Amino acid sequence: MTKRLSAASILMLTTALSAPAAFGLAAAAQTPPPPTTSTPAQPGDEELDTTAEDVQEATPGAADIEEPVGPPVEVSGPTGGGDGSVIVIQGRYIPEPVRASSEVLSVLSAEDIARTGEGDIASALQRVTGLSLVGGRFVYVRGLGERYSLALLNGSPLPSPEPLRRVVPLDIFPTSVIASSVVQKSYSVAYPGEFGGGVINLTTPSIPEETFLTFGGSVGANSETTFETGYTYFGSDLDFLGFDDGSRDIPFPLQNAIDNGLGGTSSTVTPEQLTSATLALNNASTTLIQRNDDIPVNGAVDLSFGTAIDIGSDRLGIIATAGWDNSWITRGGTEQFVAGISQDADGNPALLASQGEDFRFLETNNRIVVNGLLGLGYEFGEHKVRWTNLYIRDSLKEARIAVGSDGINVDPDTLLNRSRTNWFERQLIDTQFVAEFEFDDLSIDLRGTYANTQREAPYERSFSYEFDESIQADFDPTTVPELVELGYTEQVVVNGAWVNDLRSNGQNAFLAFSDLSEDVYAGSADFAYVLPTDREIILSAGASYGETKRDSSRYNFQYRTDQLLPSTIAQLRPDFLVSDYVVTQYGVTLRENFEEVTRYEAGLDVLGVYGQVEMEPIDFVRLTAGVRYEDASQTVETFDPDGGAGTGGSAQLQNTKLEENYFLPAGTLTWNFAENMQFRLAASKTIARPQFRELAPQQYLDNESNRTFIGNQFLTDSELLNFEGRFEWYPSRNDRVSLAGFYKKIEDPIEAVAIVQGQTFFTTFSNAPEATLFGGEIELQKYFPLYDWGIEDGFLSSRNFVVVANYTYTDSEVSVDASDTVISNQTGQPIPATTYFIDGEPLVGQSDHIANLQIGFEDEDSLSQQTILLTYASERVTSRFTGSLPGGERVAIPFVEDPGINLDLVIRQGFEIGGIGFEAKFEARNLLDEDYEEFQELGNSRIDRNVYDRGQSYSLGLAVNF
């Protein structure tokens, strides 16, 4: 008996059976005491001599307090005020970085990072009060987007490998290369003026206390990925190392065609040269997606070495690290979107996937991270110099298949199969020199850096097939194991087939090559001098200069033919469809499918100078006030090959040049009013500049969010007024309590906006008229020694029960009046601001509630930690989108992300075998099995913009310390 089964049913059935469920059909050193400082004698009072020790002795109960014990936190960054030790502070338990700074900050030490067990610094930072992690890569401070978070390495700026952003994604920094991370939430004029939510200064290790050699490795698994079904493709022989072996290089015939103006009005490329360029492409190894029923385990290895050499009274330190991490993640879920508001069966406004895009997808990403650090440090007297060299390479290999309908560009009743393969290379090379000199009352910090980031995306391939029900063919079900299990063992007549004629919206093939390179040259000098006055007064000043250059290109091609392909050819799998045979026999060639802009060059030059005074007007009160002047020039030059003139047929168009200068004042008042307690008040003015990509009208497909971005060359800078109050209490060596409130007013904030141009859905950017943000934070860290609970013997006697908790509430509103206008990215003309913005809506990326909880046990005598980590972030807008109700009223239907609750477990245990020290680590992530959800809602309707199972992840690692 012959059974009838459609090809679409076969595809959906086998995918559902084989895919994840979401793809279904429906070591401590003594901290030295504070340096002794003298207050100059008052006139007529020659015997007055107050020291920090005197202050402690005069404080009730302070004489019995022991000095804090713990590893020193290494911080390198612009201080703008010396080391801060000359200010008399009461309270031995205030941590040194907090004691030395006049600003509101949070410090994540190497021990804090290790407790979280995170592999990259971005994930570790989400445990800090008020910080949230977005997209697994970017850190938001108090709900403000990544544009408002300044990232520095040893106090120097970093370039970005991201096409959409000018900020560096912090997930590329393994925790193994970071000694500490300081998050400063109040502005200091020693830092660049682009400071909204805060500055994140990462410090690499410099001079170790003693020689060490550590080698470690780990293996990991994910419940939705490991040993489950996923997709992959060959690529090249060296992909597992994170490097391409040259297979993905642009072939010479194609590069020659581009150099000769391919796609431009002055192109000299002949048809024969175009055919030759098409035939020269690496085809099957970059095109053919293969199903893998057993996706492998994750693995990582790392090596670190450090030593210190005494040279007389001086000290030379060497630190080197290297690491390799290979991980897999499979995502299967739903992806929908609509272009506007429709009506349901009852006539109510609704969002209907049937009138937009509605796909089920399965994708597998293989991520390989290679990193290395070489640092040299030299201490002589009170001076220190360091030379740090950092290399990070982050590669991502993606294979994806989606099945569904596209009612916007094709037809809602036509079944489509869309596949793509990608290879993304992100690379950071950074070399920097830091010199910190201390000459009695004068301190000098000198910094210089050169850094380069690159992002290459060669052979971005995509294919779209339509299902044609009119075609019948025989099918052998024994080639599909899942069908055999269901009893399909006889010949099957297939009603319908997948076809691709390379000529229509639903039947096409695209190929793109993207390249981005960004260089940063920066230098700064900071000076601080302690005046010989009755009261301590520190005068500080400095200057910095930074130059950023970016060159970004994207060449997008489409396979086209002027002939009607026979049905047998149109049914060929992707690599056969664009094979040499089809190219030569049916005239298939690459045709330029260049967007409005194929390349842009961007630059940002910033000169900054500042002056600041830090003083103690009365005992235990510190006042810091200063102003920074910045002069900046930002340019974006775009090129379009269709313009005709220029090199290679390119013409320059739509230049953007922003030249602005600002005076940015800042002030902080710190009152150390009681033992181990202090209160801070801070106020400042700062700015936020548009990012390069936001200014370039070049289309860009972000494969992570699967949406197309286009810039707006008419953006302007944002200006912020910042106010903060914070109470801090450090009752004992390891304990702390803090409460804070903050308020920000933002003029012309830049927001991501979703729009529809023609039949294409884009995300662009626009300045909103104004926005405000306010909120509060609470933080608690408490150690409970179990021997205080009567447990004096046995396994638990040396342990502490540790609780670390923080909560942040944030509220933001965009203010829009009926008379407000914004500049359209399409016309450059003013349009009503209500086109994009609805009054009272929150800022993009802002969660009302962010909470973190860490509870566990830590041994005082040895390395033994068992920690449960709970992270929660409430819903937040990822992109604005507005629509019109039947009566014409504009309503907000934004894309909303729900991060939910994340529960992790990290266990670290040290032990010795044969006198050699070992450390074992076990991690369990997402134990509540929270899904990723991004959606839109209107009334009772909901569109799942991007929803998939993240699965539970487990890893087991072992390190040996020599």
Q: Which of 18-27, 48-57, 203-212, 285-294 has the lowest mean pLDDT?
A: 18-27
Q: What is the pLDDT of residues 550-583, one digit of tens each?
A: 998 888 899 999 889 999 999 999 999 999 999 9
Q: Is residue 267 part of a domain?
A: no
pLDDT band at 355 (very low <50, low <70, confident <90, very high): confident
pLDDT band at 654 (very low <50, low <70, confident <90, very high): low
Indicate whether 43 pLDDT > 70. Answer: no
Pairing verdict, β 149-153 and 198-203? parallel
* Secondary structure of residue 940 in the 3-state scheme: coil
- What pLDDT, on a 0 to 100 scale, did the predictor assign at position 646? 36
Q: Is residue 82 part of a domain?
A: yes
- What pLDDT, on a 0 to 100 scale, did the predictor assign at position 774? 94
- What pLDDT, on a 0 to 100 scale, did the predictor assign at position 360? 95
pLDDT band at 136 (very low <50, low <70, confident <90, very high): low
Higher pLDDT, 408 or 820: 820
Q: What is the pLDDT of residues 303-351, one digit of tens each?
A: 889 899 999 999 999 989 898 999 999 999 999 988 788 888 888 888 8
282-297: average pLDDT = 95
Indicate whether 586 pLDDT > 80. Answer: yes
- What pLDDT, on a 0 to 100 scale, did the predictor assign at position 653? 53
Higher pLDDT, 227 or 195: 227
- What pLDDT, on a 0 to 100 scale, did the predictor assign at position 652? 43
User: CA-to-CA distance for 241 and 326, rounded, in angstroms?
Assistant: 8
Indicate whether 70 pLDDT > 80. Answer: no
- What pLDDT, on a 0 to 100 scale, did the predictor assign at position 710? 81
What's the longest Cα–Cα distance across the chain? 115
Indicate whether 771 pLDDT > 90. Answer: yes
Q: What is the pLDDT of residues 462-517, one digit of tens each?
A: 999 999 988 887 777 777 776 777 777 777 777 789 999 999 889 999 999 999 89
Residue entry with tokens 């544009």: 147
What stretches of 1-109 show up as alpha helix (H) in DSSP?
A: 7-18, 52-58, 96-100
Q: How far is CA 388 from CA 85, 154, 178, 205, 433, in A?
A: 27, 9, 12, 9, 7
Q: Is residue 31 part of a domain?
A: yes
Pairing verdict, β 342-343 and 750-757? unpaired
Apex 367 CA angle, 326 and 373, nearest 5: 70
- What pLDDT, on a 0 to 100 scale, did the predictor assign at position 770? 94
Q: Is residue 487 part of a domain?
A: yes
SS (H, E, C) 137-199: CEEEECCECHHHEEEEECCEECCCCCCCCCCCCHHHCEHHHCCEEEEECCCCCCCCCECCCEE
CB 315 within 8 A of CB 207: yes
Number of structural domains the chain divides into: 1
Indicate whether 671 pLDDT > 80. Answer: yes
Taking all residues of the chain, what is their mean pLDDT, rounded to a whole number? Answer: 82
- What pLDDT, on a 0 to 100 scale, did the predictor assign at position 746? 94
723-740: average pLDDT = 90
Indicate whether 917 pLDDT > 70. Answer: yes
Number of helical H runs and strand E runs in the chain: 13, 48
Indicate whether 17 pLDDT > 70. Answer: no
Q: Supply the CATH number for residue 540's domain.
A: 2.40.170.20
Indicate whether 795 pLDDT > 80. Answer: no
Q: Is residue 903 part of a domain?
A: yes
pLDDT band at 880 (very low <50, low <70, confident <90, very high): confident
- What pLDDT, on a 0 to 100 scale, did the predictor assign at position 90? 66
Max mean pLDDT among 60-74, 119-133, 633-647 falls in: 119-133
- What pLDDT, on a 0 to 100 scale, did the predictor assign at position 760? 65
List the beta strands (DSSP E) in 842-914: 849-859, 864-873, 876-879, 882-884, 890-892, 895-897, 900-913
| pTM for the model | 0.84
Apex 867 CA angle, 866 and 868, nearest 5: 135
Residues of the domain holding 786: 3-247+282-961
User: CA-to-CA distance for 847 and 132, rounded, in angstroms?
Assistant: 9
Q: Is residue 265 part of a domain?
A: no
CB half-sphere exposure, 160, CA atoms < 13 A: 22
Higher pLDDT, 243 or 196: 243
pLDDT band at 954 (very low <50, low <70, confident <90, very high): very high
Indicate whether 238 pLDDT > 90. Answer: yes
Q: Is residue 255 part of a domain?
A: no
945-954: average pLDDT = 93
- What pLDDT, on a 0 to 100 scale, did the predictor assign at position 30? 33
